Amino acid sequence: MNSLSPEQTDDRVVLKKTLSPLQVWALALGCILGWGCFVLPGIRFLPQAGPVAACIGFLIGGGLLGFVALSYGKMIESYPVAGGEFAYAYAGFGPTAAFVCGWALVLGYTCIIALNATAIALLTRFLLPGVFECGHLYTIAGWDVYAGELALLSGAVLLFGIINYRGVGFAGSAQLILALTLVAGVAVFCAGSFFAPTAHVENLHPFFAEGISPLAAVASVVAIAPWLYVGFDTIPQAAEEFDFPPSKSTFLMVAAILLGAGMYALVTLGVGIVIPYPELLAANHVWATGYIAKLTLGTAGSIILALAVLAAILTGINGFYIATSRLLFGMARSKFLPEWFCGIHPHYHTPHRSIIFTMCVALIAPWFGREALNWIVDMSAIGTVIAYGFTAMTAYRFMVAHPTWPGSGRNKVYAVIGVCTSFLCLGLLTVPGSPAAIDTESWYALLVWGILGAVFYMTKHSELKVMTTSEMSFLILGKADMPVFFKKK
């Protein structure tokens, strides 16, 4: 595999095509399946929805996001450049929309790296209680911050920072190995659960959580679909580095979403089928999934599950490193961020400055505690949904402008469904009383980040204002004559 290297095209640096289809699939799947796949069955999916309601919710949510992915596929095929949604928002709605979209994603992607790192602390607190909980520093929002855990988390962030610094080929190979480890671990866990002597479908009663309607039970899972499946949208960030036709990206994204939905469902059913799940929940185990793994497979089960969870966490860290650095690179190359961010390492040929910046933010974030990070990531879910909406709306505009393209009519329908899905998810996140409504603290974080973005954009506005549409399209989309759907200058 070749290393990433820049090629100078006039005043536009580009990235060499190095990522294989399997590596790109692993990028999406690894980012979709984080720690939540293994932790949430016992604390959210089973108690708040019930096993069948949760599985229906996974399938509906995955199906809805699948339509969004179809729009993403068309955009990747048309605009295979680093920056992803930032570039699509520009093509559809102009530079201001592009900045809003890119700014919304930068913080969220970076904090997801840190949030995945703090999940390592959750894992060690279960498997190795007390080992890293040394050197208590302070408590913030109910989360105890320990020097020992900070050292562990910082080590993980630094490790994957170095891996990404040294080349996307190396990072892509690591992602593939970790994703396969994750899939294998889930397969072993589910085999142990489904073939356990006590496993029976009766243990899954009640199928729907008691005290709420079946519809509300399903909706409680569908509402968090943008969070469950965030990760497939990392693929467009790396589109410039595909070593294969961009048209294959649609299949890779949909395949990752479908497999992700299946694995969410299998793990949830695996947790609930061994013993009556109401009894399991009533026992108040620290980690229900870990308890079931040890019950069915013994110590070996705990080790296998721990490896699967660790692989899920590390794929999230690695995958969002790739996505964040490419987003920063794409925004800097087009003058929306300082040019410093699009520097390419002379030996490793990576966007090393964007990687260093991402690493620094990810190293600082865990000091604020996991709960504070949750507020920011919850806020970033709005940014993700906004990016979904921009992409689907641009895909619709593209198809309207190209009625003779094969499948244009069908893809317009997909785009409309994607837009409706985005607005539905946005409503679920913002309407008070919704099962996925973000907390007040997240609104404060959103306000602060929005004000910072407005100030930052105003400092760049004069520079961007003098650029013609052709100049900006060249920097963002790679060609001056690429189709855009806003009023040109």
Domain CATH code at residue 206: 1.20.1740.10
395 contacts 418 by C-beta, under 8 angstroms: yes
Task: Using alpha carbons, select from 443, 333, 341 the residue that is nearest to residue 98.
Answer: 333
Q: Is the pLDDT of residue 462 over 50?
A: yes
- Residue 445: inside a domain: yes
Instruction: At 406, give phi and psi (nearest 5°).
Output: -55, 130
Q: Average of pLDDT values for 415-443?
A: 87
Residues spanned by the domain of 49: 21-477
- Residue 487: inside a domain: no
Residue 10: band (very low, low, confident or very high) from pLDDT cuts 50, 70, 90: low
174 contacts 26 by C-beta, under 8 angstroms: no
CA distance 139 to 247: 49
- Residue 365: inside a domain: yes
Q: Average of pLDDT values for 160-175?
A: 92
Helix residue ranges, H only, 166-287: 168-194, 214-222, 225-228, 249-272, 277-282
- Residue 483: inside a domain: no
Interval 380-426: pLDDT, tens: 778 888 899 999 999 999 999 999 888 889 999 999 999 999 998 88
Q: What is the pLDDT of residue 3?
A: 38
38 contacts 305 by C-beta, under 8 angstroms: yes
Tell me the three state secondary structure of residue 48: helix
Interval 315-371: pLDDT, tens: 999 999 999 999 999 999 999 998 899 988 888 888 999 999 999 988 988 898 887
Q: Average of pLDDT values for 59-77?
A: 94
Query: Which tokens belong to 28?
Result: 């999406």
What is the Cβ-side half-sphere exposure of residue 19, based on CA atoms within 13 angstroms? 32
Q: What is the pLDDT of residue 2?
A: 40
Q: Average of pLDDT values for 283-292?
A: 91
Looking up tokens 């029976």 gives 200
218 contacts 53 by C-beta, under 8 angstroms: yes
- Residue 10: inside a domain: no
Query: Which tokens belong to 103?
Result: 């700014």
Q: What is the DSSP secondary-structure string of 365-429?
A: GGGG-HHHHHHHHHHHHHHHHHHHHHHHHHHHHHHHH-TTSTTHHHHHHHHHHHHHHHHHHHHHH
Q: What is the pLDDT of residue 9?
A: 52
Q: Which of 233-242, 277-286, 360-369 has the lowest mean pLDDT?
A: 360-369
Percentage of the residues of the chain whose pLDDT score is greater than 90:
66
- Residue 91: inside a domain: yes
Q: What is the pLDDT of residue 111?
A: 78
- Residue 485: inside a domain: no
Residue 236: band (very low, low, confident or very high) from pLDDT cuts 50, 70, 90: very high
Q: ∠3-6-7 over CA atoms, to 5°? A: 125
Q: What is the pLDDT of residue 110?
A: 82
Per the structure, how many domains does the chain have? 1
- Residue 121: inside a domain: yes
Q: What is the pLDDT of residue 128?
A: 86
